Amino acid sequence: PDSEFFKFFGKAMKPVDINSKLVNEFIIAIGLLFFIEGLLLAILPSRIKNMLELIKNTPENKLRSFGLFFLIIGFLIIWYIKN
């Protein structure tokens, strides 16, 4: 592949070692998180405010259960994609 795309992006996509690959993927994941949250806030600000009020009135043990559930689902998705 001698196209300009690979000449430009090929350097950025070839990590030197496993640590730089992990850091690169972590930064991409954080960027994706910011992108999705920013998109939702820009498109649905009133719905976000309503959801935050709902979260404020939800008991902590229920929030922990939801958090643990989404943590496990996210881990399984990442594990499936990586393997």
pLDDT number for residue 21: 81
Question: Residue 2 pLDDT more than 70?
Answer: no
The pLDDT tens digits of the residues spanning 4-63 come to 666 666 655 555 566 788 888 889 999 999 999 999 999 999 999 999 999 999 999 999
- Tell me the DSSP string of 24-77: HHHHHHHHHHHHHHHHHHHH-HHHHHHHHHHHHTS-HHHHHHHHHHHHHHHHHH
75 and 82 in contact (C-beta within 8 Å)?
no
Note the pLDDT of residue 3: 64
Q: Yes or no: say if 45 and 36 are a contact pair by the CB < 8 Å rule.
A: no
At residue 19, the pLDDT reads 72
